[in-house]
Amino acid sequence: EPVVAVVVAAGSGSRLGADLPKALVPLEGVALVRRAVDALLAAGVGQVVVTIPPDHESGFAAALNGTGARLVPGGADRQDSVRLGLLGLDAPDDAVALVHDAARALVPTDVVRRVADAVLGGAEVVIPVVPVVDSIRRVDPDGSAIVDRSLLRAVQTPQAARLGALRSAHERVLADGVEVTDDAAVCEHVGMRVSLVDGHRDAMKVTEPVDLILAKALLAERSP
Ligand code: C5P
């Protein structure tokens, strides 16, 4: 079965303090979105759709020149961008569809493969996760309480399911007016079962300026 992907890149980058969309911010001279798309292609993904913000088509076309990625306008929020991106994929319902954040530009090839392989192996929905390193407290108006962090995982991307199932789950969530923060939650809403695989520190999401500094350091460690 083919493996295809939506890269969501339609965010504004306001938390990064850039006047460019975040996905176009360069990391050692290469735009985050280009690094993300190249990582998927290197892992064997056969087709990529990138959701882009309004008014930046030429910037994205330049950044993705030569990758073969198809550009489609994103939506009002991440969830809507994913839904529109999935509609832009030209693949059968049983294709393995990955959804990946452009901001997770340094995702290792191994993580992409683990996620895709788990779906090929029969899992319904697959997400990469990492342990939580901070101590975590739940707060409420009466005070706060420690949460056992050994029971918690932080969720990364790419997340994956079969294309047909993922498309219908997104349409259902839209029709039901449910708000979610990731694709696993979209799929759970329609009763699909989520499986976890190991993520990796390098699949961190570039969100704030300090994350770019960390990403540069990770990149420097990688190259010989
Ligand atoms: O803002 P945040 O980092 O959580 O966004 C996660 C991903 O979703 C980013 O890669 C961003 O570009 C994408 N996104 C999108 N469409 C939106 C909002 C965010 O594709 N309307």
101 Cα: distance to centroid of ligand 1 (angstroms)? 7
Domain assignments of the chain as residue spans, ordered by start: 3-222
C-alpha separations of 67 from 38, 45, 176 in Å: 8, 11, 36
Determine the residue of 34, 81, 182 to mutate for testing ligand 1's pocket, defined as the one with the most ligand atoms within 8 A of the Cβ atom.
81
pLDDT at 223 (0 to 100): 74
Residue nearest to atom 5 of ligand 1 (CA): 11
Asked if residues 75 and 54 have their Cβ atoms less than 8 Å apart, the reply is: no
Burial class (CB in 10 A: 0-12, 13-18, 19+), 159: buried
Ligand 1 binding pocket (C-beta < 6 A) is 8-11, 22-23, 51, 74-78, 81, 101-103, 205, 207
Residue pLDDT, tens place only, 68-122? 999 999 999 999 999 999 999 999 999 999 999 999 999 999 999 999 999 999 9
Q: Which atom of ligand 1 is nearest to the CA of 15?
A: 1
| SS3 at position 86 | helix
| Predicted complex ipTM exceeds 0.95 | no
Q: Does residue 172 register a pLDDT over 80? A: yes
52 Cα: distance to centroid of ligand 1 (angstroms)? 9
How far apart, in whole angstroms, are the C-alpha atoms of residue 184 and residue 127? 7
Q: Does residue 34 register a pLDDT over 80? A: yes
C-alpha separations of 165 from 157, 172, 193 in Å: 18, 11, 12
Helices (H), 56-162: 57-63, 78-87, 109-120
Burial class (CB in 10 A: 0-12, 13-18, 19+), 68: exposed
The DSSP secondary-structure symbol of 123 reads -
Q: Which atom of ligand 1 is nearest to the CA of 181?
A: 4
Asked if residues 13 and 52 have their Cβ atoms less than 8 Å apart, the reply is: no
Asked if residues 206 and 105 have their Cβ atoms less than 8 Å apart, the reply is: yes
Asked if residues 51 and 75 have their Cβ atoms less than 8 Å apart, the reply is: yes
Burial class (CB in 10 A: 0-12, 13-18, 19+), 48: buried
51 Cα: distance to centroid of ligand 1 (angstroms)? 9
Q: Which atom of ligand 1 is nearest to the CA of 206?
A: 3
Residue nearest to atom 7 of ligand 1 (CA): 101
For the chain, report the end-to-end CA distance as a whole number of angstroms: 35
Q: Which atom of ligand 1 is nearest to the CA of 74?
A: 16
Q: Which atom of ligand 1 is nearest to the CA of 82?
A: 20
How far apart, in whole angstroms, are the C-alpha atoms of residue 162 and residue 116? 10
Fold exhibited by the domain 3-222: Spore Coat Polysaccharide Biosynthesis Protein SpsA; Chain A (3.90.550)
Residue pLDDT, tens place only, 8-26? 999 887 777 778 899 999 9
How confident is residue 44, by pLDDT bands cut at 50, 70 and 90?
A: very high
77 Cα: distance to centroid of ligand 1 (angstroms)? 7
